[in-house]
Chain A
Amino acid sequence: MSTAIAIEPPARESSPSGLSVGNHPSAGVRTCETTGLPVCLTAQQFIRLNAVIAVVALLAGGVAALLVGLTRWPTVHLLDPVWYYRLVTFHGLNMLIFWILFMEIGILYFAATTLLNTRLFSKSLAWTSFAMMLSGAVLVDVTILLGKADVMMTSYVPLKAHSNFYLGIILVAVGTLIGVGNFFGTLYIAKRDKTYIGSVPLVVFGATAAAIIAVVTLLHGAIVMIPTWLWSLDVIKHVDAGWYRLIWWGLGHQSQQVNVCAMVSVWYMLGTITTGAKPINQAVCRGAFVLYILFINLASAHHLLVDPGVGASWKIWNTSYAMYLAVLASMIHGFTVPASVEVAMRKKGHNRGLFGWLAAAPWKNPGFSAFFLSLLIFGFIGGITGVTLGTQQINILAHNTLRIPGHFHSTVVGGTSLAFMGLAYYVVPLIFKREFYARGLARIQPYIFAVGIVIMSLGMSFAGSYGVPRRHWDVQFAGAQFAAGFGSGAHVMLGIMGVGVVLAFVGLITFVLLVVAAVFFGKKIENRPMTAW
């Protein structure tokens, strides 16, 4: 393809009314040479800051992942128990919370400002949010590494960490909430200043859905973490274990829906950027996002399926009504996203057979491959395992086994994280304005990571089917009071998982190195479009 990327200039579809002049202060905006989109310079600064910290967290979490993964591989059994449990805690928080949240704040700022042609609502709010999130993340990481918070990211009471651990999490949560507020503020001024006319673009709609769920999520976080923090300071005497789990999963589960919304928005965006895809029916896509918002409120239930204290009818009701309509939404996106790519590719003349359009897709473009692999992994592995594990009675076979990390490494890692990596292949040239080095390596990076994560996920899932527990240092139970252990089948699966861990780590570290090299040492892109992938 000769053009840099296959986006048509905005004016074409949104016609005269689509984008107005915007509301940018003078010298507060530039026009992207590649896409023709307006870029608010304040937003650009904060997208950069958030993305950099996200990648640092990804690196930290990735190193921990390798060490933890090699410990779970019985043949290697690398770390001692103290550091194994410490780094599982560290990995969970750096990955699921810091890498993901910093990326998402960046995505929200981007979606609101660039796609609506508006300035960022408030620079000082952006600074406040960033400073709080960063200091919270540092506080959490330092507390963990000092050995004061070996409690896993779920920190189930009455297991107690140093109060700074909870304080750090509260700082991150409030900082994120402020960032989300800044996003809503930006939507508001865009509407007020009429920087666009009509409905917001689909990607902004999806981002808004993510932001709305994020607010609900973070409120649950506040409800549970503030008393727990006070408890760690001895101000409150008792926090009930069952209550904690109920509310904590209101945070923990719904934040996954934020990730799904953000990921699906990124799918739509990358589909458009890399193939010119256009949703067949916007009403369907938007309706599916609305389903996410409406039907996810009590899905924390599916983390409590074998808990005492909550009854069968509560468990069944909340998993069926809340979860399955959200599942429906994902199944809808699972159709509309590839269908939009198929339509676009067929329009370009790739009409041969059933899958000629897919074969002809730009698989050498890491933006596309990351996006499409993310779609496949999320649907075929993450979705199927998730719904099955979240079935009330089936959960008896799966609760707290390795099937659980097997599942979520194919949603939030093979799905969300991989999609975010794909996005980075455009963020670096378009927002940081730097060229990548080693473009050949960049082209294969999504494949390495995807294959590694798939192998690891399957290894975990099948090991878990034998009952192998998660968060567990020694599946041989050496020195335990009563002998326990697993047969060769489980050990083979753990070995397969180990191979996947190594491969996924190679994919991850390749990504980090490529991005760091490009952002700090890459050739500057000035007054010209990015080199096409």
Chain B
Amino acid sequence: MAQEKKPVEVFQKEHEHDEDDHHTPGTVVLTLALLVSFAVYYFANWKALADVWHVR
């Protein structure tokens, strides 16, 4: 398995013990995309609801 990191980086990683390992920009984009689609669908439904008969 290729470990293509610079030795310095690896060294730092070892020391900081996971702390800096959290570099997950892809996941951040993925989850933000989820949040945006969520909000769009959710509020589109409120909009649709506002158009029907009134009921209590």
- In the complex, which residues of chain B have a beta carbon less than 8 angstroms from the beta carbon of A383? 34, 38
Given A343-B23, A343-B24, A357-B26: A348 and B41 interface contact (C-beta under 8 Å): no
Which of B2, B37, B49, B55 has the most CB atoms of chain A within a 10 A radius of its CB? B49
- In the complex, which residues of chain B have a beta carbon less than 8 angstroms from the beta carbon of A391? 42, 45
- Judge whether A339 and B24 touch: CB under 8 Å: yes
Contact of B49 among A349, A351, A396 (CB under 8 A): A396
Contact of B37 among A380, A396, A465 (CB under 8 A): A380
- Judge whether B34 and A334 touch: CB under 8 Å: yes
Interface of chain B residues 8 through 22 with chain A (CB within 8 A): 18, 21-22
How far, in Å, is B49 (CB) from chain A's closest CB?
A: 6
The DSSP consensus for interface residues of chain A is helix
- Judge whether A339 and B27 touch: CB under 8 Å: yes
Given A380-B34, A384-B41: A342 and B26 interface contact (C-beta under 8 Å): yes
How many chain A residues touch the partner (CB < 8 A)? 31
The DSSP consensus for interface residues of chain B is helix
- Judge whether A394 and B37 touch: CB under 8 Å: no
- Judge whether B48 and A339 touch: CB under 8 Å: no
- Judge whether A335 and B31 touch: CB under 8 Å: yes
- Judge whether A396 and B26 touch: CB under 8 Å: no
Q: How far is the CA of A334 from the CA of B24 in the complex (A)?
A: 13
Residue B25 at the chain A interface, CB threshold 8 Å: yes
Which of B18, B23, B30 has the most CB atoms of chain A within a 10 A radius of its CB? B30
Contact of B4 among A331, A351, A387 (CB under 8 A): A351
- Judge whether B42 and A379 touch: CB under 8 Å: no
- In the complex, which residues of chain A have a beta carbon less than 8 angstroms from the beta carbon of B55? 396
- In the complex, which residues of chain B have a beta carbon less than 8 angstroms from the beta carbon of A342? 24, 26-27
Residue A525 at the chain B interface, CB threshold 8 Å: no
Given A348-B2, A397-B48: A379 and B26 interface contact (C-beta under 8 Å): no
- Judge whether B52 and A397 touch: CB under 8 Å: yes
Q: How far is the CA of A379 from the CA of B41 in the complex (A)?
A: 13
- Judge whether A334 and B31 touch: CB under 8 Å: yes
Look across to chain A and name the residue whose beta carbon is closest to the beta carbon of B10: A347
Which A residues fall within an 8 A CB radius of B?
A: 1, 280, 331, 334-335, 338-339, 342-343, 346-349, 351, 354-355, 357-358, 379-380, 383-385, 387-388, 391, 393-394, 396-397, 465
14 further contact pairs, Cβ within 8 A, besides A348-B1, A358-B26, A396-B49: A1-B1, A331-B31, A335-B27, A335-B31, A338-B31, A339-B24, A339-B27, A347-B3, A347-B5, A354-B26, A355-B26, A391-B42, A396-B52, A397-B48
Closest 9 CB pairs of A and B: A349-B4, A339-B27, A339-B24, A342-B24, A338-B27, A394-B45, A384-B38, A349-B2, A354-B26
